[in-house]
Chains A and B, each alone.
Chain A
Amino acid sequence: MAVLWLIPFLPFLSATLMLLSAGRMPRYLSAWLGVGSIGLAAVCVALVARAYLADHQVQELTLWTWMSVDNFTPRIAFRVDGLTVVMMSVITGVGFLIHLYSVEFMWEDESICRYFAYMNLFVAAMLLLVMADNLLLLYLGWEGVGACSYLLVGFWYRDPDNGRAARKAFIVTRVGDTAMALGLFLLFTELGTLDIQPLMAAANDRWQIGDTLPILATALLLGGALGKSAQLPLHTWLPDAMAGPTPVSALIHAATMVTAGVYLIARLYELFLLAPPTLAVIAWIGLLTLLLAAFTALAQKDIKRILAYSTISQIGYMFLALGVGAFASSIFHLVTHAFFKALLFLAAGAVIHCLHHEHNIFRMGGLRTRLPVVFLSFLIGSAALAALPFSSGFFSKEGILLSAWTQPGIGPWLWAGGLLGALLTSIYSFRLVFIVFFGEAQTEPDRQPGWQMAIPLMVLCVLSLVGGWFVLPLSGVLPDPGHDPVSHWVEYISIGTPLLGLTVAYLLYLGRQVSIASLMASPAGAAVQSFWYGGARIDKLYDLLLVRPFTGLTHWWRNEPVDLLYNALVWMTRWGHGRLVVLQTGELRWYATSMVFGLLLLLAIVLRDSA
């Protein structure tokens, strides 16, 4: 289908134009170009999606052969099936809304052109990632979104902290990406191709379930997914990445890029099915991450950090679903999460925007009446995040928990863990709502969100509410094992848990029935609070184990230790020079005399030999 290539090309083209203008483009033109290109791409995606929904025909398009060396012939080629259609719709649809929102959010920034250029470049790379028909092109998109994330997190480059956060985001994900690259090497060396469909066919052909090689390969790929999707142990970059503008967090660090790891595993599900141990690890990592991040979110003060940890936690749910083989449920949660988390971030952005860039939730309060639109959005977003009944998050999370429950063996444990996570999610989301929007006002907003902000919020509100009724065209693309009917009390418990969380949050933060302040004042409470406030000290641990030794080593070596070897040679030469130089007296007669004696010596030797 010819329109296919336009989808990544339009954002790329507009990004290029903006970059070439070197920042001299008028701001309304950059805004139009930035939003318009994504809008056009969204229209193209809609066309493609309609065609796909009509006949469920996979669409392919090869642009050119990227390179051809030996039997390594990756192409620049797209392949669009149901999963890709879903991802493309999320990227361009949510992306369009976020771009529109950005117009107002970034209007006063002097570098709005640069902002839209990076954002469009990101969308292009992300589209390449999901449309790629081979793993190398996917890797291009994969690293491309990483680079754009780096550029956007460090967008306000004047503050060194932002630069630090941007570098951290890139380098930590690069660790995962390198593992993934090794995975690609392994796959190509063993299977002789990187085209996704032939690759999975060949893997099924040659490998049995539980062989070492698929386990190794999937483990390496998992490394990439963990880095990109901010899962343990590579999750530390995401909270810091909140240094970027808020729409960036909404688009990259909530809706699209961080879910790339989920997409990767779903895309290569046949490969992962060959490696049950890897799947089990994925499930456990997901569970561990979602609990850890939920606990951490509960202790944060910065509105964006809370949402960041909540994102990590929700992606943990997706990984849990992947690990138990419920790929479709995972993607479903990805989609609903994209809606409600983008909504939450944009609403948080609106709060920050209207409150002189205030991030601390304890300096907000009482915004319910002052920013009604934002309050409504936040309320709906939090309801969906907490999976209150009939919100979109409810349906997707329910599916994941039930799939976990029916998993033989470890299922109930995963289910119980997931349930605990759901409880925590509910508590921290409503803690946020209660503290920010209820109570006494601490800071007065100096403006109201305009229409460019309000419209995306409203649309996302609707999507967050009704998203649960969407039927994603994933049948036939991803296996949907479905789950056996479960007893009703399991379902009742999962419905009841978020409500319980809501009640707890009400008691703690709004009703003030239990004094949270006195709880925190106790030594044990303070220790727990500070432990979780620091993200379980994982950052400190990495700092101690990796960063300091590395910087120490570079500092120690910076003056080139190898040169010591050559300097030793130089020193020896100098020493020999010092010894021999005494022979050079500079006196002519001494030279003449030594020549004579030398000659005599030579003569004597010659005469002796001839004699």
Chain B
Amino acid sequence: MSMVVLIGLLLIGGVIAWWTERINSDWPRWVALATVCAALLYLLRITASLSLESFELVPDPHDGASWLLHLKLAWIPRFGINFELAMDGLSLLLVALTLLLGLIAIASSWSEINFKTGFFHANLLWTLAGVCGVFLALDLFLFFLFWEVMLIPMYLLIAIWGHENSGYAAMKFFIFTQFSGLLMLLSIVVLAWQGAVTNGLLSFSYFDLLGLPLEGPLAWVTMLGFFIAFTVKLPGFPFHTWLPDAHTQAPTAGSVLLAGILLKTGAYGLLRFCIPLFPDISAQFAPIAMGLGAAGVIYGAILAFGQTDFKRLVAYSSVSHMGFVLLGLYAWNTLALQGAVMQMVAHGVSTAALFTLAGSLQQRLHTRDMRQMGGLWHQAPRMGACAMFFALASLGLPGLGNFVAEFLILLGLFAVQPWLCAVAALGLISAAIYALWMMQQTFQGEPDTGRQMRDFNGREMLAMTTMIVALIGLGLYPQPVLDLVEPTLDALQQEVRSDVIRAFATTSAAQ
């Protein structure tokens, strides 16, 4: 039940935050903060109550009992739909990341949002609830439900509290994700139907649907349904065009949530569902997916350099970084997968920080146009130092989390596709180009002496320091994170490997 409590806490917290606005418009902030803190503490308590050995146990992909937590309640038995949640190391990591970035999001919007604060924080918490649900749900129908739950509050966040062109951006975001979500729903139904044909039992459970013998064009189309849904969210080239608009127009907290965690649901979906459910087809599809990943890496980096809007630049850098994730996932070996998970975490932190910075800049200067900045280091050295740190992190400086991630991904990829690895490595060069150009345009150069700007205060520095420490920790001692997800990755790899072997065995027997 603990997972239900976790999600319920966030949902109810949202309602309370909305309601307390009637008393005082500052109360929702505190309520939201308290809710996320409570959820974090609760997660900590759940984790602490588990035995150490269970973290090393490889979770059986066909049986929830060996997972860290597993809950299955009947929901719509007629269609084989259950309320099924389960947690393994990967989910735990991502839920923890979600809650931590939730805190950052609340902190970064503390003084930015000054109307409808209650509804704002309600939406924020509901998004978090949806994301946690996505990371925990193992019934595909429930997964789809949470997938939609996180979408609508996010849409509202962008549409209501966004900047000058928020209506367009919010609608674009909504249509892209909604349309791709529809494809996924169709794929889920087809998959469940296939499962019913094969197993003689209609079920939407992940455990029942793994390892279905799927072949032919229908299976390809089904796989593509999942792939497109997740790649739109990731976002992978060429489905990324909603992202720069959404990021640019969203309020700071929205950008932080979008970049920090919503994008990760796409990567998580690919890792948990798309590849293991369709191992053979994914193996055949891998070169194309990796090609898209490499294209995203290069394309995002090139476009990032061309931008004049601070947030757009960071948004395109996200496209570039998430291209690495796509590469790592489809390289499908331990090194690359660990790198991909690491990238999810490290990119979540570093990009959240950059968006927080962008938000603070916009709040102070009332512009995101970098051509109107310059020399800000003079007025705000602390902001400058933070920006420098995260720019260096974003270009993959060793000793920080992003480097570990990108190095592992490329190292794993090199064994599979050396040439593609070389192409993707060009992204490292272009990352240096855009990250340093960003620093030049904003914080370096001749300061405008007539401009008054407040430097970071204690609250903002606290948020920044947390993320700086996290990135250094991930960069110098990533082992806890690697160990946490290792059993999950082992299980997934075994699942896929045995399936591919089985498929090969059957085809050779037929001949």
Interface residues of A, Cβ cutoff 8 Å to B:
19, 22-23, 64-70, 72, 76, 136, 139-140, 142-144, 147, 150-151, 154, 157-160, 163-164, 166-167, 170-171, 174-175, 177-178, 181-182, 184-186, 188-189, 550-551, 553-555, 557-558, 560, 562-563, 565-566
A70 vs B482: C-alpha distance when bound (angstroms): 10
A175 vs B398: C-alpha distance when bound (angstroms): 15
Asked if B285 is at the interface (CB within 8 A of a chain A CB), the reply is no
Q: Judge whether B302 and A554 touch: CB under 8 Å.
A: yes
Q: List 26 A-B contacts (CB under 8 A).
A: A23-B381, A69-B334, A70-B335, A139-B398, A144-B399, A147-B392, A147-B397, A151-B388, A157-B375, A157-B443, A158-B444, A163-B444, A167-B437, A170-B436, A171-B429, A174-B429, A178-B426, A181-B410, A182-B414, A185-B421, A186-B414, A186-B418, A188-B411, A554-B303, A558-B306, A562-B240
A144-B436 CB under 8 A given contacts A67-B404, A558-B306, A562-B240: no
Asked if B182 is at the interface (CB within 8 A of a chain A CB), the reply is no
Chain A residue at smallest Cβ distance from B392: A147
Asked if B445 is at the interface (CB within 8 A of a chain A CB), the reply is yes
A65 vs B428: C-alpha distance when bound (angstroms): 25
Asked if B291 is at the interface (CB within 8 A of a chain A CB), the reply is no
As a 0/1 sequence over residues 292 to 319 of chain B, the CB contacts with chain A under 8 angstroms (1 = contact) are: 0000000000110111000000000000
Select the stretch in B53-61, B79-87, B187-195, B471-479 that faces chain A: B471-479
Q: How far is the CB of B352 from chain A (nearest CB, A)?
A: 22
A185-B414 CB under 8 A given contacts A72-B335, A160-B444, A557-B303: yes
For A143, list chain B residues within 8 Å (CB). Answer: 397-398, 403
For A551, list chain B residues within 8 Å (CB). Answer: 305
For A158, list chain B residues within 8 Å (CB). Answer: 375, 378, 444-447
Which of the residues A23, A167, A189 comes within 8 Å of B415, measured between beta carbons? Answer: A189
A171 vs B431: C-alpha distance when bound (angstroms): 9
For A177, list chain B residues within 8 Å (CB). Answer: 428
A189 vs B415: C-alpha distance when bound (angstroms): 6
Asked if B237 is at the interface (CB within 8 A of a chain A CB), the reply is yes
Q: How far is the CB of A33 from chain B (nearest CB, A)?
A: 18
| Chain B 332-386 residues near chain A, CB threshold 8 A | 333-335, 338, 375, 377-378, 381-382, 385
Which of the residues B338, B443, B446 comes within 8 Å of A160, measured between beta carbons? Answer: B446
Q: Judge whether A182 and B421 touch: CB under 8 Å.
A: yes
A171-B436 CB under 8 A given contacts A140-B399, A158-B375, A555-B306: yes
Which of the residues B238, B307, B375 comes within 8 Å of A558, measured between beta carbons? Answer: B307
A157-B425 CB under 8 A given contacts A67-B478, A553-B302: no
A64 vs B241: C-alpha distance when bound (angstroms): 43
Asked if B408 is at the interface (CB within 8 A of a chain A CB), the reply is yes
Which of the residues B302, B306, B335 comes within 8 Å of A69, measured between beta carbons? Answer: B335
Asked if B433 is at the interface (CB within 8 A of a chain A CB), the reply is yes
Q: How far is the CB of A387 from chain B (nearest CB, A)?
A: 37
A66 vs B381: C-alpha distance when bound (angstroms): 32
Q: Judge whether B425 and A182 touch: CB under 8 Å.
A: yes
Asked if B244 is at the interface (CB within 8 A of a chain A CB), the reply is yes
For B503, list chain A residues within 8 Å (CB). Answer: none
A434 vs B397: C-alpha distance when bound (angstroms): 44
A186 vs B415: C-alpha distance when bound (angstroms): 8
A449 vs B308: C-alpha distance when bound (angstroms): 46
Asked if B19 is at the interface (CB within 8 A of a chain A CB), the reply is no
A182 vs B421: C-alpha distance when bound (angstroms): 8
In the A-B complex, the 7 residue pairs with the smallest Cβ-Cβ separation, listed nearest first, are: A558-B306, A554-B306, A185-B414, A140-B398, A157-B444, A70-B334, A174-B432
Q: Judge whether B306 and A178 touch: CB under 8 Å.
A: no
| Chain B 406-423 residues near chain A, CB threshold 8 A | 407-408, 410-411, 414-415, 418, 421-422
Q: Judge whether B385 and A22 touch: CB under 8 Å.
A: yes
For A553, list chain B residues within 8 Å (CB). Answer: 302
Chain B residue at smallest Cβ distance from A176: B429
Chain A residue at smallest Cβ distance from B384: A157
For B422, list chain A residues within 8 Å (CB). Answer: 182
Interface residues of B, Cβ cutoff 8 Å to A:
237-238, 240-241, 244, 302-303, 305-307, 333-335, 338, 375, 377-378, 381-382, 385, 388, 392, 397-399, 403-404, 407-408, 410-411, 414-415, 418, 421-422, 425-426, 428-429, 432-433, 436-437, 440, 443-447, 476-479, 482
Q: Judge whether B303 and A163 touch: CB under 8 Å.
A: no
A555 vs B414: C-alpha distance when bound (angstroms): 32
A565-B238 CB under 8 A given contacts A143-B397, A167-B437, A170-B436: yes
Q: How far is the CB of B466 from chain A (nearest CB, A)?
A: 15
Chain B residue at smallest Cβ distance from A559: B306
Chain A residue at smallest Cβ distance from B479: A67
Q: Judge whether A562 and B241 touch: CB under 8 Å.
A: yes
Q: How far is the CB of A257 from chain B (nearest CB, A)?
A: 15
Q: How far is the CB of B373 from chain A (nearest CB, A)?
A: 13
Q: Judge whether B338 and A69 touch: CB under 8 Å.
A: yes
Q: Judge whether B306 and A181 touch: CB under 8 Å.
A: no
Chain B residue at smallest Cβ distance from A156: B444
Q: How far is the CB of A114 from chain B (nearest CB, A)?
A: 8
Q: Judge whether A563 and B482 touch: CB under 8 Å.
A: no
Q: How far is the CB of A115 from chain B (nearest CB, A)?
A: 13
Q: Judge whether A557 and B306 touch: CB under 8 Å.
A: yes
Q: Judge whether B445 and A160 touch: CB under 8 Å.
A: yes
Q: Judge whether A160 and B440 touch: CB under 8 Å.
A: yes
A70 vs B437: C-alpha distance when bound (angstroms): 37
Q: How far is the CB of B245 from chain A (nearest CB, A)?
A: 9
Which of the residues A65, A181, A184, A563 comes within 8 Å of B479, measured between beta carbons? Answer: A65
A166 vs B443: C-alpha distance when bound (angstroms): 14
A163-B445 CB under 8 A given contacts A185-B411, A185-B421, A560-B244: yes
For B418, list chain A residues within 8 Å (CB). Answer: 185-186, 189
Which of the residues A140, A150, A562 comes within 8 Å of B238, measured between beta carbons? Answer: A562
Q: Judge whether B385 and A19 touch: CB under 8 Å.
A: yes
A167-B410 CB under 8 A given contacts A185-B421, A554-B302: no
Q: How far is the CB of A193 from chain B (nearest CB, A)?
A: 12
Chain B residue at smallest Cβ distance from A157: B444
Chain B residue at smallest Cβ distance from A76: B476
Q: Judge whether A558 and B303 touch: CB under 8 Å.
A: yes
Q: Judge whether A175 and B429 touch: CB under 8 Å.
A: yes
Known: A167-B436, A189-B411. 16 other contacts (CB 8 A): A69-B338, A139-B398, A144-B399, A157-B445, A158-B446, A167-B440, A170-B436, A171-B432, A174-B432, A181-B407, A181-B428, A182-B425, A186-B414, A557-B303, A557-B306, A562-B241
For A555, list chain B residues within 8 Å (CB). Answer: 306
Q: Tell which of A69, A142, A144 has the most Cβ of chain B within 10 Å.
A: A69
For B433, list chain A residues within 8 Å (CB). Answer: 167, 171, 550
Q: How far is the CB of B476 from chain A (nearest CB, A)?
A: 7
A69-B408 CB under 8 A given contacts A144-B399, A182-B421, A182-B422: yes
A185 vs B388: C-alpha distance when bound (angstroms): 28
Q: How far is the CB of A221 from chain B (nearest CB, A)?
A: 14
For A22, list chain B residues within 8 Å (CB). Answer: 381-382, 385
Q: How far is the CB of B430 from chain A (nearest CB, A)?
A: 8
Q: Judge whether A174 and B302 touch: CB under 8 Å.
A: no
A163 vs B391: C-alpha distance when bound (angstroms): 15
A186 vs B421: C-alpha distance when bound (angstroms): 11
Chain A residue at smallest Cβ distance from B413: A185
A284 vs B144: C-alpha distance when bound (angstroms): 63
A157 vs B244: C-alpha distance when bound (angstroms): 29
A147 vs B393: C-alpha distance when bound (angstroms): 11
Q: Judge whether A178 and B429 touch: CB under 8 Å.
A: yes
A140 vs B397: C-alpha distance when bound (angstroms): 8
For A562, list chain B residues within 8 Å (CB). Answer: 237-238, 240-241
Q: How far is the CB of B82 from chain A (nearest CB, A)?
A: 35
For A174, list chain B residues within 8 Å (CB). Answer: 428-429, 432
Q: Judge whether A189 and B414 touch: CB under 8 Å.
A: yes
Chain B residue at smallest Cβ distance from A140: B398
For A164, list chain B residues within 8 Å (CB). Answer: 440
